[in-house]
Chain A
């Protein structure tokens, strides 16, 4: 197997993972609201529902921002590795 095939495979897997993740976030969000709005009078259950909603929103936020963050990292790193401009001469 060539390295490029491997790269392609990893990319496909990442895409699959991402689409699964969106679905999972939706499920988490729904479960969270269901727990929070359920007629069971347990505070801990309500709190778990609340934290599930928060987690799903935050995870969705970071996943959506993921590609942007990676692009930013590679941009910053590559601009740091550029040669420094010469100091100004009087």
Chain B
């Protein structure tokens, strides 16, 4: 450090100048007074320059005696930042959910929460910046403070004393902040993922083959469906964040609509969270836009499905059963045979959600039957249905209240308390600088 020799020679210069003024032949009292003052200043700054390393070690020693350390303080800051970032992300994801599900009214409340968290985050960032500056530059701040202190005629004495006091007080004081804030620690913000779950899965037919574009509806009670989703070509569907906010443990009745028919899946009762397969026991999707719905008590003994051909061995257990053949209008059914005999089927057509669908019914008698269908057709397009999102408004308002309370407590413990603490540190620094820079009067002569 080249600053220290400079400061040392400056203090010697101050001392000599003081002696010169003191011994000058001018019989003026103030000149003599200034001379004594400058001799004192020179001595005081020489003491400070010589105890530079002592001052540095004093900080370390005080920290050790108080049981605080910089690495643990930085850890504390980082973990608090992580807590706040998590809270902010939770608020953001909730905002996304609310926006997507159409409950925009609650967004205003959430904006307030987000601004509170953002303010706390800014405060933590500011503390982080100050501590980084103090930690990495404190020896240089101390050296520059000593140099300013040593300049003759008290030019930089106040500033120098303030810098010396700051480097010492902040270095010791900042790592004690966790102990200060510990008593007022905030609770962890509940994350969206811990409160809301999802229902997702796949719709399959009796042979566990995927049913394309099923319309899956969830009912909380009889009446309109609470939530509706159109599955993809592989039968997959998803209810939950970000589109829906369904509290954990809430139960729903599920229903699948396919080619105009409402079908009951197994399992029919789903409670959040749920992931699995919804199997429809009385539906067979042959592929290429042809489906068969079984009505009656029957057993599917054997089957053979290939492109354009369906062969089923059915054992009807009740007195009779009906097969509902459903096809899209463009699908060509070439032949239907029951027990080897060709059957003519009268197709009736109807329109459902933008799809033209034709159906015919084949009655089967009790006992074993073999059904053969040959057809030609290709894919099944997505039906024209709107997704309906579900937000449990009462629960979301509760959650928003918790968020608001927690965010307010964050503001308290990460903005107000640290600011108060920094104010205390500044006051201590000021007191110490007063002591160094003029509070102390030493009579040399």
Interface residues of A in 1-25 (CB under 8 A from B): 3-4, 6-7, 10-11, 13-14, 17-18, 20-21, 24-25
Q: By the criterion CB–CB under 8 Å, are B54 and A74 in contact? A: no
Q: By the criterion CB–CB under 8 Å, are A62 and B46 in contact? A: no
Residue of A nearest to B13 (CB): A14
Q: Give the complex CA separation of A42 and B13 in angstroms.
A: 38
Q: Give the complex CA separation of A13 and B5 in angstroms.
A: 15
Q: Give the complex CA separation of A76 and B49 in angstroms.
A: 12
Q: Give the complex CA separation of A13 and B6 in angstroms.
A: 13
B3 at the interface (CB under 8 A from A): yes
Min distance, Cβ B179 to any Cβ of chain A, angstroms? 27
Q: By the criterion CB–CB under 8 Å, are B50 and A3 in contact? A: no
Residue of A nearest to B20 (CB): A21
Min distance, Cβ B310 to any Cβ of chain A, angstroms? 93
Q: Give the complex CA separation of A20 and B15 in angstroms.
A: 14
Partner of A73, one of B10, B17, B46, B53: B46
The interface residues of chain A lying within 8 Å CB-to-CB of B43 are: 69-70, 73
Min distance, Cβ B14 to any Cβ of chain A, angstroms? 9
Interface residue range, chain A: 35 or more
Interface of A is mostly: helix
Interface residues of B in 1-37 (CB under 8 A from A): 2-3, 5-6, 8-13, 15-17, 19-20, 22-25, 27, 32, 35
Residues of A at the B interface (CB closer than 8 Å) are 3-4, 6-7, 10-11, 13-14, 17-18, 20-21, 24-25, 27-28, 31-32, 48, 51-52, 55-56, 58-60, 62-63, 66-67, 69-70, 73-74, 76-78, 80-81
> If A70-B12, A77-B51, A80-B54 touch, does A31 touch B25 (CB 8 Å cutoff)?
yes
Q: By the criterion CB–CB under 8 Å, are A48 and B35 in contact? A: no
Residue of A nearest to B15 (CB): A66
Q: Give the complex CA separation of A25 and B50 in angstroms.
A: 30
Considering the complex of A and B, which 7 residue pairs feature the smallest CB-CB distances, nearest first?
A59-B23, A77-B50, A81-B54, A3-B2, A28-B25, A63-B19, A21-B20
Q: Give the complex CA separation of A18 and B228 in angstroms.
A: 96
Q: By the criterion CB–CB under 8 Å, are A81 and B53 in contact? A: yes
Residue of A nearest to B49 (CB): A74
Partner of A28, one of B24, B47, B50, B51: B24
12 residue pairs of the A-B complex, CB under 8 angstroms, read A3-B5, A3-B6, A7-B2, A7-B6, A17-B13, A24-B24, A59-B22, A62-B22, A63-B16, A69-B43, A70-B12, A74-B50
The interface residues of chain A lying within 8 Å CB-to-CB of B10 are: 10
The interface residues of chain B lying within 8 Å CB-to-CB of A55 are: 22-23, 32
> If A17-B16, A63-B16 touch, does A25 touch B23 (CB 8 Å cutoff)?
yes
